[in-house]
Amino acid sequence: MITIDGPAGAGKSTVAQKLAEQLGLFYLDSGATYRAVALKVLKAGVSLDDEPAVANLAEEADIRITTDGGQPCVLLDGEDVTARIRTAEVTLAAARVSRLAEVRRKLIALQRGLASRPGVVMEGRDIGTVVFPRAPLKIFLKADPEERARRRLEQDVKEGRVSTLEQTACEIGRRDQLDAERKISPLVAAADACEIDSTHLTAEQVVDRILELVRERKLA
């Protein structure tokens, strides 16, 4: 089990996928589970502030993550929502539903179940602190806000989502605020996490640094 936590745009997804591929491990994005619940809530027309209703929808949600040719596929109630959960609307809704205790309880249990197979790289915001506090290797990936906004915009454009750097920076700032103010499992680095600043590093360079730690700890 290797955990990679950090704020939006720090490069967690790219690094985690590349690392999992090189080590032959299963890649899991914990954020996809919160996004799936957020999408279900939006589709149902339920207020994000209605905690009991949101919790009920989270409890009912059938969320599965599979891989197809190495690419993760997110299924919500049997429907492929891999692309739909990446919109700006769902992103901000996910940050709000993730603040609810009952939603986190349900999804933490789900994430632990998804990672029951041997050999997993999981990325998120509380994986090393809450979901798998005993993981043998924890990474906290960070980067300057400006660089994170640039990377997120580049990803949005690549995936066909229309945005601007100013809008993306605003969304990331809002997400940072929600993550930091969350009473349950706020975004913080685990005490025993290895912090890596990726501002001036490529994804490949970050992966190389993590592989060095893997070898040092004789994990592979």
Residue 68 — pLDDT band, cuts 50, 70, 90?
Answer: low
User: Where residue 64 sits, what CATH number does that domain have?
Assistant: 3.40.50.300
Question: What pLDDT is attached to residue 159?
Answer: 76
Predicted structure pTM score: 0.88
Q: Which residue has the higher pLDDT, 186 or 75?
A: 75
Question: What pLDDT is attached to residue 6?
Answer: 94
Q: Is residue 219 part of a domain?
A: no
Range of the domain at 58: 2-209
Burial of 105 (0-12, 13-18, 19+ CB in 10 A): middle
30: left (phi over 0), alpha (psi -120 to 50) or beta: alpha
- Averaged pLDDT score across all residues of the chain: 91
Q: Is residue 122 part of a domain?
A: yes
Q: Is residue 91 part of a domain?
A: yes
Q: Is residue 216 part of a domain?
A: no
Alpha-helical runs (H) found in 115-183: 145-158, 165-181
Question: What pLDDT is attached to residue 128?
Answer: 96
Each residue's pLDDT tens digit, 77-99: 999 999 999 988 998 899 899 88
Q: Is residue 215 part of a domain?
A: no
Which of 93, 144, 107, 100 lies closest to 28, judged by CA? 107
Each residue's pLDDT tens digit, 166-219: 888 898 888 888 888 877 888 899 999 999 999 999 999 999 999 999 999 988
Question: What pLDDT is attached to residue 69?
Answer: 54
Q: Is residue 218 part of a domain?
A: no
Q: Is residue 44 part of a domain?
A: yes
Q: Give the C-alpha separation, 119 to 26, whole Å.
A: 6
Q: Is residue 102 part of a domain?
A: yes
- The total domain count for the chain is 1
Q: Which residue has the higher pLDDT, 57 or 176?
A: 57
Residue 54, pLDDT above cutoff 90: yes
